[in-house]
Amino acid sequence: MSEENRPGSAAPASAPGSQPVPPAPPAAAPPRPAPRKSRRIVRRTLLTLGPVAVLVVGGYFYFMSGRFIDTDNAYIKADLAIVAAQVAGPISNLAVHENQRVKQGDILFTVDDRAFKVTLEQNRAQLAAMNDLVESFRAGYRQTTAQLALARTTATYQQREYERLAELAKRKLISDVAVDDARQKRDVANQDIQVTERALEAARARLGGSPDKPLTDQAAYQAAKSMYDKATLDLEHTIVRAPFDGIASKVPTVGQYVAPGAPIMSIVSDHDMWIEANYKETELTHVTPGQPVDIELDTYPGRTWRGSVESISQATGAEFSVIPAQNATGNWVKVAQRIPVRIAVQTNSNDPELRVGMSAVVTIDTGYERPAPAIVRALLPKRPAPRLVQSVSSARD
């Protein structure tokens, strides 16, 4: 191989006077590849199905937005009793401790009963003495009756004596002084009858109108019996019992002085609980009792309870406040009021324990379906008239 044709050798220099050789043109850039077929398909699919998906999602939220209403202004409620003593005195014995479960009728605490026992014994003695008292009234009545009979006998005798002396005075056999003395004795005897009759009425009144009236029907006996019954009841009230099954709370201490009607402790029911959900008045348009409810408690995330609408309050919460809003005074701002809705909770034996006051999120399924927009109803085909109407129309023709 010659040096001229060897690869990599330099080009020979042109001879003097010859034309220069032009350089070779640069190679052209390769053409850009066409877009892939799959990209075109995806793009066309998104452009076609995207608006459809937006319409479907928007339609779903439109039709379903009025069906489910929820609120987090909801709390668990149960029966709660404020226990108070009906008699005054220091607590001598405490039978429960804080958060103890109690049954209806269990003893909670006892008030010092020594003074009440003394009062009961006094009234028992007075009740026993009523028999002797009534018997003394009956004896007095019998004595007054005998005195009345004696007064009438004396009055009869004095009347005859006066008439006899008056006859003798006409014959001038006795003096007028003797006649006057007989007249005075007759008048005294008649007055004695009236006085004795009044005493007999008083004795009869003390015996309730009749001396044969039973002892238990006598007014004096009934008055003593009522005092004895009150003393017995006060002694029973020194023992304070649980009004229903529940959990003892705010338990007092031994030696604490209690007054009648003053709150001492509380009993919170641990069954038959419900939820009070406070919905805005604008959300209760389609809520009725019996609708299903989903319940979620903040204490147990991820767990759902089922329930149902039990009732709806007749008044808003503001109407039950201590100082209701005075909307007629002129200083008024319209605020959407909340109405309590009572929701029954369905519980099972394996459910976590519910406690009064727990916060909840409540969702009511009203079953309400929004009507289609007017433009959609215009596009839908009209339903044919019922056959019954057509037959009636033909019959009229």
Regarding whether 203 and 126 lie in a shared domain, the answer is yes
3-class SS letters over the chain: CCCCCCCCCCCCCCCCCCCCCCCCCCCCCCCCCCCCHHHHHHHHHHHHHHHHHHHHHHHHHHHHCCCEEEEEEEEEECCEEEEECCCCEEEEEECCCCCCEECCCCEEEEECCHHHHHHHHHHHHHHHHHHHHHHHHHHHHHHHHHHHHHHHHHHHHHHHHHHHHHHHHHCCCCCHHHHHHHHHHHHHHHHHHHHHHHHHHHHHHHCCCCCCCCHHHCHHHHHHHHHHHHHHHHHHHCEEECCCCEEEECCCCCCCEECCCCEEEEEECCCCCEEEEEEEHHHCCCCCCCCEEEEEECCCCCCEEEEEEEEECCCCHHHHCCCCCCCCCCCCCCCCCEEEEEEEEECCCCCCCCCCCCEEEEEEECCCCCCCCHHHHHHCCCCCCCHHHHHHHHHHC
Domain membership flag for residue 302: yes
CATH of the domain at 84: 2.40.50.100
Regarding whether 359 and 278 lie in a shared domain, the answer is yes
Regarding whether 106 and 89 lie in a shared domain, the answer is yes
Domain membership flag for residue 75: no
pLDDT digits (tens, 9 = 90+) for 317-376: 888 888 877 777 777 788 889 999 999 999 988 889 999 999 999 999 998 876 656 555
Regarding whether 249 and 182 lie in a shared domain, the answer is no
Domain membership flag for residue 63: no
Torsion of CA 265, 236, 88, 228, to 10 degrees: 160
Regarding whether 247 and 106 lie in a shared domain, the answer is yes
What's the confidence (pLDDT) of residue 80? 93
pLDDT digits (tens, 9 = 90+) for 20-57: 555 655 555 555 555 566 777 777 777 677 776 776 66
**Cα 213 from chain centroid?**
49
Regarding whether 216 and 192 lie in a shared domain, the answer is yes
Most confidently modeled of 68-72, 135-139, 208-212? 68-72
Regarding whether 214 and 121 lie in a shared domain, the answer is yes
Regarding whether 103 and 248 lie in a shared domain, the answer is yes
- Among the candidates 185, 212, 234, a domain finishes at 234
User: What mean pLDDT is predicted for residues 73-91?
Assistant: 95
Domain membership flag for residue 353: yes
Regarding whether 125 and 203 lie in a shared domain, the answer is yes
Regarding whether 228 and 204 lie in a shared domain, the answer is yes
Contact criterion met (CB below 8 Å) for 347 and 354: yes
Q: What value does the mean pLDDT of the chain take?
A: 82
Regarding whether 247 and 223 lie in a shared domain, the answer is no
Domain membership flag for residue 328: no
Strand partners, 110: 93, 239
Domain membership flag for residue 394: no
pLDDT digits (tens, 9 = 90+) for 4-20: 444 444 444 444 445 55
Provide the pLDDT confidence category of residue 2 given band limits of 50, 70 and 90.
very low
Regarding whether 202 and 152 lie in a shared domain, the answer is yes
Q: How many separate domains does the chain show?
A: 3
Range of the domain at 209: 115-234
